[in-house]
Amino acid sequence: MLIELRDMFKTYEVGTQQVHALRDISFSIEEGEYVAIMGPSGSGKSTLMNIVGCLDTPTEGSYLLKGTEVAALDDDELAEIRSAEIGFVFQTFNLLPRMTAFQNVELPLIYGRAARQTRAERVWETMDAVGLGERAHHRPNELSGGQRQRVAIARALINRPSIILADEPTGNLDSVTGEEIMQIFRGLSDAGNTIILVTHEQYIAEHASRIVKLLDGRIASDTMT
């Protein structure tokens, strides 16, 4: 089992009140699955994604990632897990504006302590895979939205993570470009990658083979498509 959440709670303290962002979440994801997490805003899907992506830790319960209890790890250990196991794709791309596409894609390799010689090769390989070869030395502001998201996907793939976490990856794109991006995810899934897609759009979620719906911090449904 790649991901195993057990009786997981995430609680925030707002003033004296406790707000339960996630309550009693239990589910697991196997290697190679393509899962969409759906839900209206405030349903807790972002919180869930943050925890699954090791950006945050649960207040209660257990999260096993490849058998490792993530809930007990400190900042740097979480960073190492993110570096090795997780590739993020954000709605707003989140590329570093002063760096070229190439440098953006290379950055996770640097944090992953990859040797300089192997880095360039890996970057070219990955950028070609998302169809970006000739735009490598452009800055994000010289790229179209679709191209930016391709750079972001290449950056997410560069360390060959166990999980690709995409948070509304088409949210800032027109429908045609969005469809192209979804085709890339389709291809990645077919190649055996595990993908978790967070969205509130049904037609986007339908690209996935399994849809988990959240409501008020609980799992409302978990269905195969």
Q: Which of 11, 59, 94, 162 binds another protein (CB under 8 A)?
A: 94
Establish if 13 lies at the interface with another protein (CB under 8 A).
no
Q: Which of 10, 35, 39, 53 binds another protein (CB under 8 A)?
A: 53
Q: What are the Cα distances from residue 102, in Å, to 27, 87, 98, 105, 167?
A: 37, 16, 12, 5, 22
State the nearest-atom distance from the C-beta of 108 to another protein, in Å. 5
**Residues 97-116 contacting another protein, CB under 8 A:** 98-99, 103, 106-108, 110-113, 116
State the nearest-atom distance from the C-beta of 55 to another protein, in Å. 5
Establish if 121 lies at the interface with another protein (CB under 8 A).
no
Q: How many residues bind another protein (CB under 8 A)?
A: 31
State the nearest-atom distance from the C-beta of 175 to another protein, in Å. 26
- Give the x-and-dash track for 195-214 against another protein (CB under 8 A): --------------------
Establish if 215 lies at the interface with another protein (CB under 8 A).
no
- Pair 25, 48: CB distance under 8 Å: yes
Binding site for another protein (CB under 8 A): 50, 53, 55-56, 74-76, 79-80, 82-84, 88, 90, 94-96, 98-99, 103, 106-108, 110-113, 116, 155-156, 159
